[in-house]
Amino acid sequence: MTNTVYIATSLDGYIADENGGLDWLHSIPNPEGSDFGFAEFMDRIDALVMGRNTFETVCGFGGDWPYPKPVFVVSSTLTEIPEAYQDKAQLISGTVREIMKQLSNQGYQNLYIDGGKTVQSFLQADLIDELIITQIPILLGTGIPLFGALEQPLKLGLKGSETLMDSLVKTHYIRQR
> How many domains, the chain?
1
Residue 29: inside a domain, yes or no? no
Structural domain contains residue 58: yes
With pLDDT > 90 as the criterion, what percentage of the chain qualifies?
Answer: 86
Side-chain-side CA neighbours of 111 within 13 Å: the count stands at: 27
CATH number, domain with residue 92: 3.40.430.10
Q: Work out whether strand 47-51 and strand 156-164 pair parallel, antiparallel, or are unpaired.
A: unpaired
Q: How confident is the model at residue 26 (pLDDT cuts 50, 70, 90)?
A: confident
Position 66 pLDDT exceeds 70: yes
The total number of residues written for the chain in this structure: 177
In a domain, 144, yes or no: yes
In a domain, 130, yes or no: yes
pLDDT tens-digit readout, 116-157: 999 999 999 999 999 999 999 999 999 999 999 999 999 999
What distances in angstroms separate CA 159 from CA 72, 78, 93, 122, 154, one per listed residue? 28, 37, 32, 20, 16
Does some domain include residue 30? Answer: no
- Helix or strand run (H / E) with residue 86: none
Backbone angles phi, psi at 18, to 5 degrees: -65, -20
Q: Is residue 11 part of a domain?
A: yes
Q: Which domain holds residue 91?
A: 2-23+35-175
Helix 116-124 and helix 96-105, axial crossing angle in degrees, nearest 10: 90
> Is 28 a member of any domain?
no
104 in a structural domain: yes
Backbone angles phi, psi at 104, to 5 degrees: -65, -40
Q: What is the distance between the alpha carbons of residues 159 and 126, in angstroms, rounded to a whole number?
A: 19
